[in-house]
Structure 1
């Protein structure tokens, strides 16, 4: 059936977009699918296509489905083969819940609301906590905190943020003589954040403070309200998910807006040296449905929905056979090929860094893995 549909498409000289989508139809795809609560655009597309990021192409070839973001639980999708593959939509009479998103944004609230990547100068020059009521060492909810450099009116609310990662790109050669990779490093949580810039925890690689600055990740850890102006200003700590420390920064409560609706799509051009540079909730590796930071952003043409293939760099191994030696590890090193790992879709972008969700994978994603075109 699949070969017949491909031949029919080519014979009728239909558009390249339809042909591409038809060529990627799963052999076991359903003829109809009823949208369920909790579905995402990626989930649904994976039921029809072997390459889910081609979903927009099959939508664009079928104007019956006017907007893929306006499908709801209870709607029925029909796949037919009249002059090529066509999706038609039968809207449900009683629609439930919200429109289907591209990925599960409800599970990514922390990265959409509470985390930002900013220019390091912007962070280091922001107003900062200098002290606490009754000369306490830490600030807790219900106490007054004192902030320097803040110009605010009484009653104005603010976010208390703490830097969590610094992202750098290293040029030149590493200690092993090989090209150094872009990397994201945790900030040392054991130092007081009173210095600017703050200390970076590079103890394992010796790259203290060097490299191209891609940005600093900050996390919202509390909110406060201005009681009195001045320098320092007096703020009431309204809530916090950890103790507030001297050196924590104060920023506007509402962070950059994000777009909840977008299409999965391949990048228009592949950014140079795109890498996985940090993990949200792991140390060594992550898998599907976990968040990673990528070394590409808006300035590289990356937007929400951009989908990359992840490839793991090949190892370098000794060729002792060609060297004709009985001593293991004395031959000339050979670079092994890169290996395909899976896909990542961007859901939040900043100037030079993005957050992405690992959508699928054959093996764990590691730090330094490369980004390529999804084809």
Structure 2
């Protein structure tokens, strides 16, 4: 069921918002045609910044819902960037809108939902990514890399001075019964090229979503990070299992990522809404002699990325801890 949410994104800031004296504040009044991507280009040097920043500003439910007269407040306090949106009083009735959150996805039928871009930063690959090269060294020393660090790259691309590149780090080996089933990567930041000497490049990390490491992959042609717009579908005749998860310790729950042993070849596409169940099989319980099989629903997932024979999904509802081996079923 859809749920109206009062769209007050930062309204209280109009009366109570204060900024520490050491913070740098930028105020932009939205004009017709503005998008937060445009504003990001103007004030944060690159449109890559906006979706990465949004991933750290969870109270901003939908980044596209800005209107002429709204005030965008961008505060930089050290390495942290905070964005607040003060709605214009001229919005009228549009200050209350219907917004779908991941938790509500299970109740939305024949609708498109917007999944926040922290999930767009994850890449599930069946192979090791090589990109346009890798981070060879951090000039300041050590392995961990964050904003304002200087890095040395080994690249296979003809990078140019001031070009912005994307840093992608491997965060997990995905396995099935101890065997490799792919690799989970995440976009962890951006860097700007400062000096080029053949295939060796010096760059400055300009934004860090999370710490990267020496050895992380770089890309100069990766598709822009955008919120995931998913058109929900409910495929039938699906029977798969969970092989791995990311986000939990002993299992997964709401807002964690899970990995399935079925993909496009088995009828699972991006946006597929699937049930998670625990299977109980009783042998010899019935008079007919065949085993009785029951499935107890414990959650719902929506598929974010589908490979040929595997897929990555977001848990949008969980009634119990979801563990490896749990059954994935389509619509009955």
**Alignment length, in residue pairs?**
231
Query: 1:30-49 alignment to 2 at 5 Å?
Result: 35-37=4-6
Q: Which of 225, 228, 231 matches 1:262?
A: 231
The aligned counterpart of 2:95 is 96
CA distance in 2, matches of 1:136, 1:286: 32
- The answer as to 2:232 corresponding to 1:224 is no
For the 8 Å contact 1:308–1:344, the answer to whether it is kept is: yes
- For normalisation by structure 1, the TM-score amounts to 0.51
Query: 1:178-197 alignment to 2 at 5 Å?
Result: 182=176
The aligned counterpart of 1:60 is none
The aligned counterpart of 1:204 is none
- The answer as to 2:169 corresponding to 1:162 is yes
1:7-35 per-position Cα deviation (integer Å, ceiling 9, x unaligned): xxxxxxxxxxxxxxxxxxxxxx9xxx984
* Cα distance, 1:129 vs structure 2: 0.8
The aligned counterpart of 1:191 is none
The aligned counterpart of 2:276 is 310
* Cα distance, 1:99 vs structure 2: 5.0
Query: CA 1:340 to 1:35, structure 2 compared with 1: closer, same or farther past 3 Å?
Result: same
* Cα distance, 1:267 vs structure 2: 0.9
CA RMSD in angstroms comes to 3.8
In the alignment, structure 2 segments of 5+ residues that lack a partner are 8-64, 66-91, 104-112, 285-289
* Cα distance, 1:156 vs structure 2: 1.7
For the 8 Å contact 1:258–1:348, the answer to whether it is kept is: no
CA distance in 2, matches of 1:243, 1:288: 24
- The answer as to 2:240 corresponding to 1:277 is no
1:35-55 per-position Cα deviation (integer Å, ceiling 9, x unaligned): 4448xxxxxxxxxxxxxxxxx
For the 8 Å contact 2:102–2:316, the answer to whether it is kept is: no
Q: Which of 130, 144, 149 matches 1:143?
A: 149
For the 8 Å contact 2:3–2:100, the answer to whether it is kept is: no
CA distance in 2, matches of 1:350, 1:256: 18
* Cα distance, 1:108 vs structure 2: 4.3
CA distance in 2, matches of 1:244, 1:162: 6
Which is richer in strand?
2
The aligned counterpart of 2:321 is 364
**Greater C-alpha radius of gyration:** 1
1:150-190 per-position Cα deviation (integer Å, ceiling 9, x unaligned): 4222222122121122234xxxxxxxxxxxxx35xxxxxxx
Classify the secondary structure of the residue corresponding to 2:94. Answer: coil
CA distance in 2, matches of 1:244, 1:110: 16
For the 8 Å contact 1:343–1:374, the answer to whether it is kept is: no
Query: CA 1:98 to 1:298, structure 2 compared with 1: closer, same or farther past 3 Å?
Result: farther
In the alignment, structure 1 segments of 5+ residues that lack a partner are 1-28, 39-71, 73-92, 169-181, 184-206, 320-333
* Cα distance, 1:262 vs structure 2: 2.0
- For normalisation by structure 2, the TM-score amounts to 0.57
- The answer as to 2:311 corresponding to 1:342 is no
The aligned counterpart of 2:313 is 355
Which is richer in helix?
1
The aligned counterpart of 2:46 is none
* Cα distance, 1:297 vs structure 2: 3.4
